[in-house]
Amino acid sequence: MARTRFVALSALLASFLSLVAGAGQLRPPLPAACLPRDLFGQGFAPRLRTDRNSTARVSTDFGQMVTAAPEAVLHPASPGDVAALIRFSASSPAPFPVAPRGQGHSWRGQALAPGGVVVDMRALGRGRHRAPRINVSSSADEPPYVDAGGEQLWADVLRATLPHGLAPRVWTDYIRLTVGGTLSNAGIGGQAFRHGPQIANVDELDVVTGTGEMMTCSKNKNSDLFFGALGGLGQFGVITRARIRLERAPKRVRWVRLAYTDVVAFTKDQELLISDNQASEVVAFDYVEGQVQLKQSLVKGPKSTPFFSAADLSRLAKLASMSGSAAIYYIEGAMYYAEDDTATFVDQKMEALLEQLSFEPGFVFTKDVTYVQFLDRVREEERELQSVGAWEVPHPWLNLFVSRSRIVDFDNGVFKALLKDANPAGIILMYPMNKGKWDDRMTAVTPTTGEDDGVFYAVSLLWSAFSPEDVHRLERQNKAVLEFCVQEGIGCKQYLAHHTSQEGWQQHFGAKWSRIAELKAKYDPQALLSPGHRIFPKPVEVDRVASI
């Protein structure tokens, strides 16, 4: 009996020690198969994890469309750890890929590092003894800003700025993403028509380049890296800090959705709402987006949503049926106001604005919520989907930028033809932005527009798949949409882009390609960073850039 207990205790202790050692607490991790052995003798080695549990957690992303395991995961204590890891790889006889990962909210493996090291950026913000990674400046001597670590969630930035009566000017629809993650893409949302994307509201960055150099950059200092990193898909460096402009934060939001059956009226009103004349008026929306709901999804989809009640959806389904429309379109607008504004004052402003629009009479749906509730609105939907196991499923998304001159052609070919009888799970976003609010020096690309067509639309097909068959079907639909755009000469650009060849990326970046290749050769010549995009599968030599 005693021997049996001793054996059991010994086994339990051995198991415990193995687990703790695997977590890097008692001894350095065992060298991973494809990584240099001397990597585990570096100063950051105690923060490397090679156990299967750690690598499995970062082997896929929100999209759950791609799986690829790294050999190790780094939990950095400071940006210096990130720099040291990259320097080691860059100087190694066998360089390995490095991918920074925030929330892993990419959808095609963009945050993966097969055979290399994933950097868990969120670790930078953890630990009681570490310096604060969000710092607000509200001095009267200069415009307000916040310095936020690249690993910080936008929700945490909001939490830090609100006590100062301030907030960033532009938000993505889902604010539980990292600052570095959205700035590496562009960061778009319903405020972008007025202020541009999030990348247009940044004054300074700290970046760790692909050579392991820690650099501070801005429009006037290391400007090529500054403009390259903003929207640069992580190809030139890891964003470890961003200085973000702030504005006065409102207290409450009057949130409205207006229903349309005619796409021409829908787009005309959206463009009115984002026009410079309208945006300069006292009575205007502070946020403008739009959605498309296919007729079949109204009939067969959910019977209620966080915004629409069952009675609302029943009325909308009848509207679609009576009008013969293949879809119902919604303008989604938000009017910010201070807590001391009276309900009558806000009602009058809203009424004056709605009088200018041509939505279906009687189909106005409103909510009045706090500013925080509005910005964090997707969180409620996330909780509901998680409760039924519908959040962590494959997401075969397709996000496009389409010029205003072709948006009705796109609607006719996609929503009224290709997807006419479809009932996919998910939502479709469709709303305009002003191209003049984007800085073309940045890496992010937008579609070519004519001199009198300085508006383009974001069209997002945000699908969820509940079976392998769903994945294949939705992938075929996405392919059909892209093929339709090519056949009809609709020169759209992908946002959160995915291309399977360097030729595809060259077409995506267009005239910017040669500059991007030059930046890659300068700041990440070994092509170590963010390999999941597959933009530069091989090292880029300076003397080869001109021929790429």
Active site residues: 105, 173, 289
* φ, ψ at 278 (rounded to 5°): -70, -40
- Alpha-carbon torsion, ordered 470, 475, 478, 482, to 10 deg: -160
- Token duo for residue 318: 């009848």
Please give the Cα distance from 368 to 478 (Å, whole number). 36
- Token duo for residue 356: 């200018």
Angle separating helix axes 502-509 and 513-523, nearest 10 degrees: 120
| Residue partners of 162: CB distance under 8 A and separation at least 6 | 249, 372
Place of tokens 């959205």: 182
- Rg over CA atoms, the chain: 25
Place of tokens 């925030």: 102
- The sign of the torsion formed by the CA atoms of 521, 527, 532, 535 equals positive
Distances (CA, A) of 14 to 9, 18, 20, 24, 27: 8, 6, 10, 15, 14
- The sign of the torsion formed by the CA atoms of 187, 190, 192, 193 equals positive
| Residue partners of 55: CB distance under 8 A and separation at least 6 | 49, 69, 70, 71, 72, 73, 118
